[in-house]
Amino acid sequence: MKAGASRLAKEQSAEDISSQQLALFNKRWSEAVRLPFYQDWKRLHSLPERISDISDLDNWPVLTKDSLRNRQDLVDLTPNVAGHYTTSGSTGEPFRFPRGKIDFHSMYEAQWSYRALNGLQPFDSFVFASNTLNGAGISSVAHKKNSLVRIAKDYAGNSAKVNGFLASDYDADSAIGVIEKSRPRYLVGYPSAISAIARRSSERGIRFPSLSHAILTSESIDPSDISAIRELLDVHVLIEYGTAELGTIAGTVGSPEGWPVRTIWWNSLVRLDGEGSAILTSLSPRTFPLINFSISDALMVGRVGPGGTALTIDDVRGRTRDVVSVLEKDGSITRIMARQLVYLVRESPGVRAVQVTQRRDGYIDFIVTVGNLAAVRECARSMSESIRRNRPEYEVGTVRARFVTSHIPGARGKRSSVIPIESVPADAPTIDLL
């Protein structure tokens, strides 16, 4: 951890970082091709033994979850597997990546390299706000086993866990009770949960004097969430960007607004494809390294080094699946990130949360969580005014609002910008906004 922190703290030139990443890539690739899956992958795509520049990866095939699913038999032949990383399945198709004992150290080092620079230590007390819906279909015996594992982790790590999906004041109050009891140094987890805790504790006049930091991770992050958490909880806000299968990819170092985050350059090589979607490569020792792997996140990259290596990330726009289409007055259909639409209406009176669903191509519904259905017309009027003012090009009849009193969870309890239309209650009050 100390070595990693010093590497991140030390200012290195973009050229030096790119050169070191090139050497790390070639080392990881030479190890990867000993594995059955990558032996087949190399043969299938006629890949070289090594690359001479990071930009050479522009011509490499992109590895996807589907690529791995299609050769699951070869993935399963990976030696020295101690377990698996299970992705959240936010696209509806979870996947289990092989995990080995050698993975832990590098992932731990990457995570604490940036946290340590912000004054945190590995055994500081913390509360983890994440989903508690894992394995909803597993047996009661497995549930009990998972609960015991969770208790052991909390005891060993000086931590506690609360549900990351806080759909009501009651849920937020329950999480607040855990925080009051455990007196953590920091909170880490879903921005939606930590934001709900901040707002609810402010409403109740509750303070948490032990808290110094909040680490936001796992979901798309709204600027208003950062402001509310920082001001209402009186904490430093950090942003941690990572995935289950790759660990921590980037983290905040010294920014009061959370952004930008600096990439943990010796842990992952971060690049973008032609559409701005993240392509990552494991650079630290892994039992099953991921080479030129697509995680389907749309990134806004800041500082870029030679060969296209991303050194800072200014924003994570969300999953590429979080794109919806809206019909314009000239008959064309425009595609837009759902978050951009949410920003237009989320400050309307009475709104607790906003999601989007694609009714059909070119037509969308805002799914608006409110505390009181009696006030939906005032809320709809404000939303309509904002859309007409900011998006005058949209065709009349293309945008509606549907009102619910409980936020609708996405995959595994996360807050999702885009949800399937089937998940919206059929009796939800509906008002045309255009």
Claim to verify: residue 300 and residue 388 sit in the same structural domain: no
Residue 340: CB atoms within 10 A of its CB come to 16
Claim to verify: residue 259 and residue 369 sit in the same structural domain: no
CA pair distance 184, 130, nearest whole angstrom: 16
**Final residue in a domain of this structure, among 268, 300, 319:** 319
What pLDDT does residue 138 have? 35
What pLDDT does residue 418 have? 84
Residue 56 covered by a domain: no
Residue 228 covered by a domain: yes
Claim to verify: residue 174 and residue 272 sit in the same structural domain: yes
Residue 379 covered by a domain: yes
What is the domain extent for residue 195? 84-319
Residue 63 covered by a domain: no
CATH number of the domain residue 424 falls in: 3.30.300.30
The CA R_g of the chain, rounded to the nearest whole Å, is 22
Mean pLDDT by 10-residue block, N- to C-terminus, for the chain (434 residues)?
Answer: 71 93 98 98 98 97 94 96 76 78 92 94 92 43 44 60 83 95 95 90 96 89 85 96 92 89 96 91 96 89 96 79 86 86 84 89 94 89 93 94 84 68 92 94
Helix (H/G/I), strand (E/B), else coil: 214: strand
Claim to verify: residue 342 and residue 312 sit in the same structural domain: no
Claim to verify: residue 258 and residue 228 sit in the same structural domain: yes
Domain count, the chain: 2
Residue 387 covered by a domain: yes
pTM for the whole structure = 0.78
CA pair distance 416, 286, nearest whole angstrom: 30
Give the CA dihedral 21, 87, 248, 282, nearest 10 degrees. Answer: -10
Claim to verify: residue 164 and residue 98 sit in the same structural domain: yes
CA pair distance 335, 322, nearest whole angstrom: 10
| Total number of residues shown for the chain | 434
Of 324, 274, 277, which is closest to residue 297 (Cα–Cα)? 277
Residue 53 covered by a domain: no
Give the sheet arrangement for strand 277-282, strand by strand.
159-163, 126-130, 186-189, 213-216, 236-243, 247-252, 261-263, 312-319, 293-301, 277-282, 268-272
The owner of tokens 């030479």 is 30
Claim to verify: residue 343 and residue 285 sit in the same structural domain: no
Claim to verify: residue 314 and residue 408 sit in the same structural domain: no
What pLDDT does residue 433 have? 95
CA-to-CA separations, 287 to 84, 94, 181, 345, 420, in angstroms, rounded:
11, 20, 39, 46, 36
CA pair distance 29, 72, nearest whole angstrom: 20
Structure tokens of 140? 């009661």
CATH number of the domain residue 145 falls in: 3.40.50.12780
Helix (H/G/I), strand (E/B), else coil: 296: strand
Claim to verify: residue 222 and residue 343 sit in the same structural domain: no
H/E run at residue 367 = strand 363-370
Claim to verify: residue 362 and residue 264 sit in the same structural domain: no
**Final residue in a domain of this structure, among 295, 319, 343:** 319
Cis peptide before 260 (omega within 30 of 0): yes
What pLDDT does residue 305 have? 96
What pLDDT does residue 322 have? 73
Residue 30 covered by a domain: no
Claim to verify: residue 173 and residue 308 sit in the same structural domain: yes
Claim to verify: residue 366 and residue 394 sit in the same structural domain: yes
**Final residue in a domain of this structure, among 319, 336, 351:** 319
Residue 261 covered by a domain: yes
What pLDDT does residue 2 have? 58
